[in-house]
C-alpha cells in the first residue's frame, strides 16, 4: 500500500514541521481524502489542528471562488499561502496551561496550541472573516495571570470591519470564559487584509 | 516484580475514550525516572503503550482531544475520575500522578 504522503525526514526541532510533517504534506493528505490512513498524522494533535485549519482556509477560499465566478480575472491563491504561512507556527503545542483540580495527583493542562485552535473555531462563528495568527501574551503557565489575546484577521469584501471585529472579540471572549480558566483581560483584533472579488 | 505492581495502559486508554467530550486519544504512556526508562518514554511519546507498565513509573501522561461541549476543567476532571475509578476497580494501589494534557479542542 502506498502511503499518501512521504514519511517525515526532518529533525524534531524543525519548527516548520508538525511532528515531522510540513503543511504541504498535510495538504496532500487532505487531497487524497486522508486515505489510506496515516497513523502518524492521525495520532498527532499538532497535525490534527493544522488539518482543521487547512479545511477552514479551503472553505473560505471556496466561498471567495464562488463570489469571483463572474469575474474575468482568475482568482489568486496568494492570500491562502499568506495565511497558512502566518499561522503555521501556531499549530505547535507551545506552553502548558494549568487547569485547576482539587486532587494533588491530578495534573491537568491544556496546550497553547489547543487554545489557539479554540480561538480559530470561535472565529468560524463570525461571518465573513478568517482568523490568522493568534498569540497569547502573558504568563499563561501561572493560574489567574492576566492574558492578552492578539488576533490577526482577514475580512471579506462587504463586511463592516468594526462590527465584524467586535463580533470576533465577543465570540473569543465567550469561548474563553466557557471553556478555559484563563484570565483574559484584553482581546486585540487586527484586520490585515480585505479580500475583494 | 509481580503482575500486581504493574498497570495496563491499554485498559486506561479504553476508559478514556468513553468519557463524554473526549474526541481523540493521542497517547497514554508512563513517565519514568530512570535513565533506562527514558528511552521507553521517548518511544511511547506518540503512541499508546499497550501492555503492563512497571510500578516505577512516577506518572502516567494521557494526551487527549476534546470537543466544545464542556470546559477543559470539566472534561479533564472527568477523565481523571474515570482513570481513578478504573484503577480502583482493578484494585491497584499505585500512587502515580495522572497528567492529562488537552492537546486539541474541536
**Per-residue pLDDT tens for B32-78?**
533 334 444 444 433 444 444 444 556 778 889 999 888 999 999 99
Q: Is A50 on the interface with B (CB under 8 A)?
A: no
Q: Is B85 on the interface with A (CB under 8 A)?
A: no
Per-residue confidence at A190, pLDDT binned at 50, 70, 90? Answer: very high
The second-level CATH assignment, the architecture, of B3-105 is 2-Layer Sandwich (3.30)
* Grid cell digits, residue B65: 482531544
List the CATH number of the domain containing A111. Answer: 3.30.70.1350
Contact A136, A93 (CB under 8 A): no
Q: Parse chain B into domains and list their residue ranges.
A: 3-105
Comparison of pLDDT for A178 and B10, the residue scoring more: A178
Instruction: Look at residue B18 and give its three-state secondary structure.
Output: coil
Contact A110 B105 (CB under 8 A): yes
Average pLDDT, chain B: 70
**Per-residue pLDDT tens for A77-87?**
566 666 676 66
Instruction: Look at residue B102 and give its three-state secondary structure.
Output: strand
pLDDT (mean) for A137-141: 94
Q: In chain A, how many domains are there?
A: 1
B106 neighbourhood in chain A, CB within 8 Å = 48, 52, 117, 121
Among A8-22, A52-66, A113-127, top mean pLDDT goes to: A113-127
Q: Is residue A140 part of a domain?
A: yes
CA angle at residue A105 from B31 to B11, to 5 degrees? 60
Contact A122, A180 (CB under 8 A): no
Please, what is the end-to-end C-alpha distance for chain A in angstroms? Answer: 42
Per-residue confidence at A173, pLDDT binned at 50, 70, 90? Answer: very high
Q: What's the pLDDT score for residue B2?
A: 35
Q: What's the pLDDT score for residue A12?
A: 44
Contact B100 A107 (CB under 8 A): yes
Contact A99 B98 (CB under 8 A): no
pLDDT (mean) for A138-165: 92
Q: Is residue A146 part of a domain?
A: yes
Above pLDDT 90, what percent of chain A? Answer: 36
Closest by CA position to A187, among listed A161, A143, A152:
A152
Residue of chain A minimizing CA distance to B28: A43
Residue A175 predicted with pLDDT over 60: yes
pLDDT (mean) for A55-68: 68
Q: What's the pLDDT score for residue B34?
A: 36
* Grid cell digits, residue B89: 476497580
Task: Quote the CA–CA distance of A79 and A100 in Å, as a whole number.
Answer: 40
How close B35 comes to chain A (CA, Å)? 21
pLDDT (mean) for B16-33: 80
Q: Is B57 on the interface with A (CB under 8 A)?
A: no
Closest by CA position to A109, among listed A48, A163, A182:
A182
Which structural domain range is residue A71 located in? 23-195
Across the strands, what pairs with A194?
A155
Q: Is residue A2 part of a domain?
A: no
Amino acid at each position: 500500500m502506498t502511503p499518501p504522503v512521504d514519511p517525515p525526514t526532518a529533525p524534531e526541532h524543525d519548527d516548520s514541521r508538525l511532528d515531522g510533517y510540513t503543511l504541504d504534506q498535510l495538504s496532500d493528505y487532505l487531497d487524497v481524502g486522508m486515505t489510506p490512513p496515516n497513523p502518524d498524522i492521525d495520532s498527532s494533535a499538532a497535525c490534527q489542528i493544522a488539518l482543521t485549519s487547512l479545511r477552514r482556509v479551503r472553505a473560505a477560499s471556496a466561498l471567495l471562488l464562488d463570489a469571483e465566478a463572474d469575474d474575468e480575472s482568475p482568482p489568486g491563491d496568494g492570500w491562502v499561502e499568506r495565511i497558512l504561512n502566518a499561522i503555521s507556527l501556531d499549530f505547535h503545542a507551545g506552553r502548558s496551561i494549568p487547569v485547576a483540580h482539587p486532587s494533588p495527583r491530578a495534573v491537568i493542562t491544556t496546550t497553547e496550541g489547543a487554545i489557539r485552535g479554540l480561538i480559530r473555531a470561535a472565529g468560524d462563528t463570525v461571518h465573513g472573516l478568517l482568523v490568522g495568527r493568534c498569540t497569547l501574551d502573558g504568563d499563561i503557565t501561572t493560574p489567574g495571570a492576566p492574558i492578552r489575546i492578539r488576533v490577526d484577521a482577514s475580512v471579506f469584501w462587504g463586511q463592516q470591519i468594526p462590527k465584524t471585529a467586535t463580533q470576533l472579540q465577543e465570540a473569543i471572549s465567550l469561548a474563553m470564559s466557557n471553556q478555559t480558566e484563563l484570565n483574559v483581560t484584553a482581546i486585540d483584533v487586527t484586520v490585515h487584509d480585505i479580500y475583494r472579488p | 516484580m509481580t503482575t500486581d505492581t504493574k498497570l495496563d495502559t491499554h485498559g486506561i486508554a479504553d476508559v478514556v475514550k468513553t468519557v463524554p467530550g473526549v474526541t481523540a486519544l493521542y497517547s497514554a504512556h508512563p513517565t519514568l525516572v530512570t535513565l533506562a526508562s527514558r528511552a521507553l518514554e521517548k518511544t511511547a511519546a506518540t503512541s499508546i503503550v499497550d501492555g503492563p507498565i512497571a510500578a516505577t513509573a512516577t506518572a502516567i501522561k494521557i494526551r487527549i482531544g476534546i470537543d466544545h461541549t464542556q470546559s477543559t476543567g470539566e472534561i479533564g476532571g472527568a477523565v481523571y475520575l474515570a482513570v481513578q475509578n478504573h484503577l480502583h476497580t482493578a484494585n491497584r494501589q499505585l500512587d502515580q500522578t495522572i497528567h492529562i494534557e488537552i492537546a486539541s479542542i474541536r
